């Protein structure tokens, strides 16, 4: 088969009755779309059908009317209703044959995980003649690609579970798709906190609209913006340099001062790297965030070298007992105040013997707001041996409790990253 | 129009280029599918197209070749590329007309949220002649339904943001769809913790396969199973009684002892109701869960009457300083041990003056495991004035860090619900 033809358009075709029943959310389609967009491949449709070969066959035909590439997920399992491979092979007019290497891999997967292989699993090693087979180190269903003689139609079949689909895509499919290009793509991420999505877009509108190579695509979640810069060049070095030029341009604008890192993953990962590189330890004192600041830090394995612990002091009594916040402070200024945030951050730092203490106290809503301190009022504090600093947030009271808590935690992390210890 | 025809089959048609770029995950399709399944409406396909009226028009035609009902999401906004309403109206051959009530509602929405209404927003009040218009209290785009003369084809159009789509579906669309039935549907949820999905299905297989009215559908997330029992009857009372009979049957099986509530929402909501009804207060001490136990409790607004606070004691030093865990205990038994879990639970209960203290200490991985204490070993403790109890979990080391932490928190909640104070 001729695999040299460039791939420009794609459709995502997900197979699984559990998707149509709403038992699971189709995260695969979003994941694959985002990755294809980065490769410059235009996805113009997602389709989900059940475990039904006739509907799958029709959907496949409809997809190839427009797309160079169809990526399927699901229907590669061992049972009788897993029929993706059979249906796609029939579309391409190819017979199925036993693929010895896949059978060996499936046998060894069962040995490794101490489970018993059934006769059914052998079906997973049957492959359309001439298929490009990719190994699966995360489950029993190998992935595969088939292309027609002319190389104008390619089908890639992936297993349904995201825990298998995503790593296989990264490790096998991405190199395969890149090998079918004559050019090289490089992507880099700029991570931004403290400037809203619309403000970032407004500021970079001209640059983003004009930019075709590199392209600049914004991704947003609560309070954070990630700009993905993707360049296409003749070599890795050339594409990388094109990205760097664009990044430098962006960083020279007002947006630059809100950049907290490049390709650092999440804000909490950036915090851990920051602390580790400086040999600093962290403790946190949380009221309205209720454990979220600590939870996100401890989501990351291996955080124990920089994170000592923290206190969730929801009740005033807990603030007094665990953190040594003074009763007078609470009586005079209230639990939601600059003074309380200050004493919480200092208290947790001193009591845990940490280099940095952070705190958050506020009104996450939907109840509990007042005229002076409406829902969305949060004080975020930081304490080091040099003293304390407190940021007052006035988030819109139309925002959800979740949003207010997430952005409060984000501000605590941001204050750590701006702490010049 | 004739709306008396029963609706048996549906397609979900989501409109939005941001879905095809992978910027957002299509949670609407899963949500709508699950709700339609409960109504006995069979969803046979999901399709996602961009903001492109031609593709939308083709997708709509294809959908109505099989479906009695097409539900669209997205494309009802005020901008020029929001064209769902226009495209669907054209399919039904209906002109658009100004809908005064909608215009008033949009005006009042802007006044209420203190924003400025632009000329564009008036477009959102244009409706196909004869459409059934549903108010939107959560945004500016009204929802609508159109049916053909014969009542054999119905289109329901909903706004894209899940924060608008979901409540509108619950408040407006569900009653509308129910009004188009001659029978009444009632659903009730059984919440289960501590018995895995496959064990529940294995135990109830016969019952679930045979059951056609009521139906029993399982929904699973980490360590939790929810069984949704749905009955169809001539009246609310009849359908409700049919559900109750099925629930009683299920509760008489082995599954019954793992049921923690009916229609209670989440495990943490059940905990709050449990504590509130008994006038008890809670504090938590967390090592491997790193704040997750507290975070999930404080996700729920108004938890402050029962939740006092907690400590995240990641470092040993923090366990000693904040909770009074003895150095000797840590040296002799290790941080991951029954004894440490016991002292953590007691320590936090006493220090915060709570009725109940819970704790979790374990190895969430992926690193840190040993032969005696592999990844997945977690001790979950509970302390009351009557003493302490500890549960040892041996979760598979193949499980993710997230899973191990979520199930550990789940066990802490479960121990609270089984505490006979």
Start-to-end CA span in chain B (Å): 60
Inter-chain touch B283–A318, beta carbons under 8 Å: yes
**What confidence category does residue B111 fall into, taking pLDDT thresholds of 50, 70 and 90?**
confident
Q: pLDDT value at position A211?
A: 84
**What confidence category does residue A421 fall into, taking pLDDT thresholds of 50, 70 and 90?**
low
Please tell me the distance from the alpha carbon of residue B361 to that of residue B368, in angstroms, as a whole number.
Answer: 13
Q: pLDDT value at position B205?
A: 86
How close B177 comes to chain A (CA, Å)?
18
Residue B21 has its nearest CB partner, among A37, A48, A318, at A37
Chain A interface includes B418 (CB < 8 A) = no
Q: pLDDT value at position B1?
A: 46
In sequence order, what are the residues at sequence separation of 6 or more whose Cβ sits closer than 8 angstroms to the Cβ of residue A248? none
Burial, A128: exposed, middle or buried (Cβ in 10 Å; 0-12, 13-18, 19+)? buried
Q: pLDDT value at position B421?
A: 58
DSSP track, B71-87: EEES--SSSTT--HHHH
Chain B interface includes A33 (CB < 8 A) = yes
Inter-chain touch A22–B44, beta carbons under 8 Å: no
Q: Dihedral (C-alpha) B306, B312, B318, B321: value to the nearest 10 degrees?
A: -10
Instruction: State the pTM of this model.
Output: 0.80
Burial, A118: exposed, middle or buried (Cβ in 10 Å; 0-12, 13-18, 19+)? exposed
Q: State pLDDT tens for residues A370-391.
A: 999 999 999 999 999 999 999 9
How close B335 comes to chain A (CA, Å)?
13
Q: Which tokens belong to B340?
A: 């440490």
Q: State pLDDT tens for residues A400-419.
A: 899 999 999 999 999 999 98
In a mutational test of the B interface, the residue from A42, A48, A269 whose CB has the highest number of chain B CBs within 10 Å is A48
Q: State pLDDT tens for residues A57-109.
A: 999 999 999 999 999 999 998 877 789 999 999 999 999 999 999 999 888 88
Inter-chain touch B26–A23, beta carbons under 8 Å: no
Chain B interface includes A258 (CB < 8 A) = no
Please tell me the distance from the alpha carbon of residue A401 to that of residue A399, in angstroms, as a whole number.
Answer: 7
Closest-CA residue of A relative to B398 is A113
In sequence order, what are the residues at sequence separation of 6 or more whose Cβ sits closer than 8 angstroms to the Cβ of residue B10? B36, B41, B42, B43, B44, B67, B68, B69, B70, B71
Burial, B385: exposed, middle or buried (Cβ in 10 Å; 0-12, 13-18, 19+)? exposed
Residue B113 has its nearest CB partner, among A33, A398, A400, at A398
Residues of A whose CB is below 8 A from B364: 301
DSSP track, A159-225: -SSHHHHHHHIIIIIHHHHHHT-SSEEEEEEEEEESS-HHHHHHHHHHHHHH--SSEEEEEEETTEE
Q: Which helix (H) or strand (E) holds B177?
A: helix B174-179
Q: pLDDT value at position A128?
A: 95
Chain B interface includes A54 (CB < 8 A) = no
Start-to-end CA span in chain A (Å): 60
Residues of B whose CB is below 8 A from A307: 314-315
User: A 279-298 residues with CB below 8 A of B?
Assistant: 283-284, 286, 288-295, 297-298
Residues of A whose CB is below 8 A from B55: 44-45
Please tell me the distance from the alpha carbon of residue B358 to that of residue B390, in angstroms, as a whole number.
Answer: 9
Residues of A whose CB is below 8 A from B365: 301
How close B356 comes to chain A (CA, Å)?
14
Closest-CA residue of A relative to B29 is A22
A235-244, B14-23, B310-319, range with the lowest pLDDT: B14-23
Q: pLDDT value at position B4?
A: 56
Please tell me the distance from the alpha carbon of residue B50 to that of residue B55, in angstroms, as a whole number.
Answer: 8
Q: Which residue matches tokens 């004691």? A: B313
DSSP track, A318-361: HHHHHH---HHHHHHH-SSSHHHHHHHHHHHHHHHT-SEEEEEE
Q: Are A329 and A347 in contact (CB under 8 A)?
A: no
Strand partners, A155: A70, A146
Strand partners, A211: none
Closest-CA residue of A relative to B46 is A48
Please tell me the distance from the alpha carbon of residue B209 to that of residue A203, in angstroms, as a whole number.
Answer: 58
Q: State pLDDT tens for residues B55-96.
A: 999 999 999 999 999 999 999 988 777 899 999 999 999 999
How close A54 comes to chain B (CA, Å)?
12
Q: pLDDT value at position B2?
A: 47
In a mutational test of the B interface, the residue from A62, A314, A398 whose CB has the highest number of chain B CBs within 10 Å is A314
Closest-CA residue of B relative to A114 is B398
Mean pLDDT, all residues of chain B = 92
Please tell me the distance from the alpha carbon of residue B300 to that of residue B281, in angstroms, as a whole number.
Answer: 15
Q: pLDDT value at position A406?
A: 95
Nearest to B76 by CA among B110, B109, B124: B124
Alpha carbon A338 to chain centroid, angstroms: 34
Compute the residue count for chain B: 421
Q: State pLDDT tens for residues B347-375.
A: 999 999 999 999 999 999 888 899 999 99
Q: State pLDDT tens for residues A97-150.
A: 999 999 998 888 888 777 777 777 888 899 999 999 998 888 888 899 999 988
Q: pLDDT value at position A1?
A: 46
In sequence order, what are the residues at sequence separation of 6 or more whose Cβ sits closer than 8 angstroms to the Cβ of residue A101? A133
Question: What are the respective helix, strand and coil percentages of chain A, to the nearest 5?
Answer: 45, 25, 30
Residues of A whose CB is below 8 A from B165: none
Chain B interface includes A217 (CB < 8 A) = yes
Burial, B170: exposed, middle or buried (Cβ in 10 Å; 0-12, 13-18, 19+)? exposed
Compute the residue count for chain A: 421
Q: pLDDT value at position A247?
A: 97
């Amino acid at each position: 088969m001729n695999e040299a033809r460039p791939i420009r358009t794609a459709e995502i075709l997900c197979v699984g009755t559990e998707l149509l029943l709403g038992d699971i959310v189709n995260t695969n389609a979003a994941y694959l779309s985002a990755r294809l967009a980065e490769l410059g491949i235009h996805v113009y449709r997602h389709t989900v059908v059940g475990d039904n070969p006739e509907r799958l066959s029709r959907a496949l035909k409809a997809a190839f009317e427009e797309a160079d590439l169809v990526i399927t997920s699901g229907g590669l399992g061992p049972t009788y209703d897993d029929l993706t491979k059979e249906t796609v092979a029939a579309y391409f007019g190819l017979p199925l044959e036993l693929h010895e290497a896949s059978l060996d891999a499936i046998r060894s997967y069962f040995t490794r995980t101490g489970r018993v292989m059934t006769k059914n699993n052998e079906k997973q090693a049957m492959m359309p003649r001439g298929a490009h087979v990719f190994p699966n180190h995360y489950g029993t269903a190998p992935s595969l690609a088939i292309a027609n003689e002319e190389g104008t139609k390619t089908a890639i079949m992936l297993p349904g579970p995201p825990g298998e689909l995503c790593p296989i895509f990264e490790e096998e499919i991405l190199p395969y798709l890149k090998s079918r290009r004559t050019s090289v793509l490089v992507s880099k991420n700029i991570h931004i906190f403290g400037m809203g999505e619309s403000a970032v877009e407004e500021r970079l509108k001209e640059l983003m609209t004009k930019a075709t190579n590199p392209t600049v695509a914004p991704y947003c979640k609560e309070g954070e913006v990630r700009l993905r810069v993707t360049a296409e060049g003749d070599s890795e070095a050339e594409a990388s340099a094109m990205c760097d030029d664009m990044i430098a341009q962006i960083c020279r604008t007002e947006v630059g001062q809100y950049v907290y890192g490049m390709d650092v993953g999440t804000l909490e990962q950036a915090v851990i790297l920051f602390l580790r590189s400086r040999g600093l330890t962290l403790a946190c004192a949380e009221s309205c965030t209720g454990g979220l600041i600590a939870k996100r830090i401890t989501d990351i394995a291996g955080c124990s070298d920089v994170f000592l612990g923290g206190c969730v002091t929801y009740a005033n009594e807990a603030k007094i007992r665990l953190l040594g916040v003074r009763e007078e402070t609470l009586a005079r200024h209230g639990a939601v105040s600059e003074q309380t945030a200050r004493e919480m951050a200092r208290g947790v730092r001193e009591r845990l013997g940490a280099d940095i203490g952070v705190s958050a106290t506020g009104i996450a809503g939907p109840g509990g707001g007042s005229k002076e301190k409406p829902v969305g009022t949060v004080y975020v504090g930081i304490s080091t041996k040099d003293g304390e600093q407190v940021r007052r947030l006035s988030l819109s009271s139309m925002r959800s409790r979740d949003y207010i808590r997430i952005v409060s935690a984000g501000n605590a992390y941001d204050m750590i990253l701006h702490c010049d210890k």
